[in-house]
Amino acid sequence: MESYEGARTHAMALYLKMASEGLDVTSIITHRFPIGDWKKAFRTLSDRTSTGAVKVLLTGAT
């Protein structure tokens, strides 16, 4: 939960709202995986210490 503009909201809802309003988040994406590699993407994110993952993006490509 986050406080933003006087209201409490789920952090993910806030982030999605900000992105939809034009916040550019591409600079923090460290890894990209096709949707078919979702297991590898989650492993990469869960092992941040060795992978250096900050934000992992799943793309529509298979």
- What digits encode the pLDDT tens for the residues 34-54? 999 999 999 999 999 999 999
Question: Rounded to an integer, what distance in angstroms lies between the CA atom of residue 29 and that of residue 34?
Answer: 14
Can you tell me the distance from the alpha carbon of 56 to that of 34, in angstroms, rounded to the nearest whole number? 11
CA atoms within 13 A on the CB side of 35: 4
- Cα–Cα dist 25/19, whole Å: 7
| Residues making up the chain, counted from first to last | 62
36 domain residue, yes or no = yes
In this prediction, residue 53 carries a pLDDT of 96
Range of the domain at 48: 25-62
Model confidence pLDDT, tens digit, residues 8-21: 989 888 888 888 99
User: 0.85 cut: is pTM over it?
Assistant: no
Closest CA to 15 of 58, 59, 55: 55
Is 62's pLDDT higher than 90? no
In a domain, 16, yes or no: no
pLDDT given for residue 2 in this prediction: 84
Which one-letter DSSP state was computed for residue 26? Answer: G
Predicted pLDDT at 46? 96
Q: Looking at the domain assignment, is residue 31 inside a domain?
A: yes
